[in-house]
Amino acid sequence: MSFDTIRKDLQAQRIVPHLVDYEQTCAKHSWKAVQASLQGLPEDGLNLAYEAVDRHASGALANHLALRCLGKDDSVRDLTYTDMARGSARFANVLRSLGVKKGERVFALMNRVPELYFTALGTLKNVSVFCPLFSQFGPEPVWQRLSRGDAKVLVTSQALYEKKVAALREQLPSLQYILIADVTDDLDACALSLPRLMTASSDKHTIPQTCPEDMALLHFTSGTTGMPKGAVHVHQAALTHFATGRYVLDLHPEDIFWCTADPGWVTGTSYGIFAPLLNGVTNVVDEADFDAERWYRILDEQKVTVWYTAPTAIRRLMRIPGNPRVQHDLSALRLIHSVGEPLNPEAVVWGQRVLGLPIHDNWWQTETGGIMIANYAAIDIRPGSMGKPLPGIEAAIVKRGEHGIEEITQPDVEGELALKPGWPSMFRAYLHDEARYAKSFVDGWYLSGDLAKRDADGYFWFVGRADDIIKTSGHMVGPFEVESALMEHAAVAEVGVIGKPDPLIGEMVKAFVVLKLGHPATDELRLELIGFARKRLGPAVAPKEIAFIESLPKTRSGKIMRRLLKTRELGLPEGDLSTLEND
């Protein structure tokens, strides 16, 4: 896809991308130079919250709008960088008054309200560890994370506390304080009023000496079964958040940025809190859940210039007929990014056709802490590709050979996506699970568990999770390839593909299809889709069965839960479902 039109638009707006020459930027990149762009603390210290708000509050951006919080009731609360510095200082002083020390864990179970952001930043100012939870978790996943994370403090609302936490307190001996964000009086000796404590605290706070390798963030990852893993990140991650904000999101001081991800997930913290604030831009936050009309209205009324969202949301928007640019002024928007589930080529093309901009896909994981591979503003997009590695990141396609890990240098050969360790936001541990962490690194590579390939021009292409690959009649089939082919059909909105056990061929490719509005589920359409896929993929790869469903099971971050589709198909136990998105 040519970017001539986009480049002309950028030139018309007099915006020059931070990354213009990809190869030259990679050749000159150094993480030391990135660190020099930040202010730092004495004695080579580095504190993520200081870099995100305090250095701006003491400089030219003191009165610049940092956070615009849109309430469910359409209320608006604006906070400057000075406001953010003072609010987070008050929270840091609350923690200090409660005896919360360096390295101790502070969890947040909250909606997207200002207090959540004060909690995140104030925790880091106290050199404690911020641990976000998704507000729609049920009691069991909340207990799992608070327990495994050795929670000392939980910040939440009264409704969430009474519904999901109150009955768990006797099972959480390390949890000493619960701070309720929306009550004026303490509920008991340990469930305290956060507004009362904040009012009594000073808005001045001296950040203790913070080493770049001090633990800062704890993010839990989970599937449909099994206990969650706690990925540990350190203050040094600020370098990746800052660099990706410039190189990938292409944030400039005048930008209005909106990341739709909930801070209960890593995207919502890395790019819903830290990357925009580190780059000194205005960050829009919406408390409400997905609603297509509301989202288009936010893009219009808030004059959002850079938008970071998920494939789930994009595919939902694709299901709605009509042209949103007729009802809404989206002319301020100059870049759209997506992450979570690899973006099908059709979605990239839809963005260009309907929104007037292609959608830039990128790849990373909870463990990487930040974007590792991306499509950039100044290089051509190849629809379906995750793009090229971030400057400073060495990525490769590898396989396990007789003598350990071997790098695959030939183009278009599938293997496991691997990264050379050492980038600033690389996770430093799985909390309380050293053995699992050690298995992630083999022969000098971090093994991602994702299968991919690299073309002759250095673009990486997602194939599938290693445990999602379908083995059928001797062929190895990546579900993403089949899903992308079916997405090209005019009737198809979303697709999830699994391997269904078959005694003759090992596994049969089965597709679960969500149709666009106006396309009824009929046997004729089912046969048409099978034939459509066979023409594009061949009979060995195309699905042999297609089932029509109302919605796909997905995580809040946008990943299709193919393993859940498979367990449901086979009638197996589904496990905990509270981490799934509510359709």
**What is the per-residue DSSP string for 73-90?**
TS-EEEEEHHHHHHHHHH
Domain with CATH 3.30.300.30 in the chain: 469-570
Which of 14-23, 227-236, 425-434 shows the highest mean pLDDT?
425-434
Q: For residue 275, what are the contacts with CB-CB under 8 A and spacing of at least 6? A: 241, 242, 244, 245, 249, 251, 370
pLDDT at residue 230 above 80?
yes
Q: What is the pLDDT of residue 536?
A: 82
Which of 47-51, 223-227, 505-509 shows the highest mean pLDDT?
47-51
Q: What is the pLDDT of residue 1?
A: 35
Average pLDDT, the chain: 91
The pLDDT tens digits for 487-509 are 989 999 999 999 898 877 778 99
d(CA 555, CA 221): 11
- Per the document, the length of the chain is 583
pLDDT at residue 308 above 90?
yes
Q: What is the pLDDT of residue 556?
A: 62
Domain 4-439+446-454 has CATH 3.40.50.12780: yes
Backbone angles phi, psi at 110, to 5 degrees: -150, 160
Domain with CATH 3.40.50.12780 in the chain: 4-439+446-454
Q: What is the pLDDT of residue 2?
A: 37
Do the Cβ atoms of 576 and 224 come closer than 8 Å? yes
- Rounded to an integer, the average pLDDT of 37-63 is 96
- Rounded to an integer, the average pLDDT of 503-519 is 89
d(CA 255, CA 268): 18
Q: What is the pLDDT of residue 559?
A: 75
- Of the chain, the percentage scoring pLDDT greater than 90 comes to 73
d(CA 171, CA 410): 54
Per CATH, the number for 469-570 is: 3.30.300.30
Residue of higher predicted confidence among 540 and 278: 278
Q: What is the pLDDT of residue 320?
A: 87
The pLDDT tens digits for 157-168 are 999 999 999 999
Backbone angles phi, psi at 220, to 5 degrees: -95, 140
Give residue 187's region: left, alpha or beta (phi > 0; psi -120 to 50).
alpha
Give the bridge partners for 373, in sequence order: 363, 389
pLDDT at residue 222 above 90?
no
Spatial CA neighbour of 226 closest among 477, 579, 575: 575
Spatial CA neighbour of 18 closest among 245, 236, 240: 245
The pLDDT tens digits for 399-441 are 988 888 999 999 999 999 999 999 999 999 999 999 999 999 9
- Rounded to an integer, the average pLDDT of 132-150 is 88
Give the bridge partners for 408, in sequence order: 397
The pLDDT tens digits for 65-119 are 999 999 999 999 999 999 999 999 999 999 999 999 999 999 999 999 999 999 9
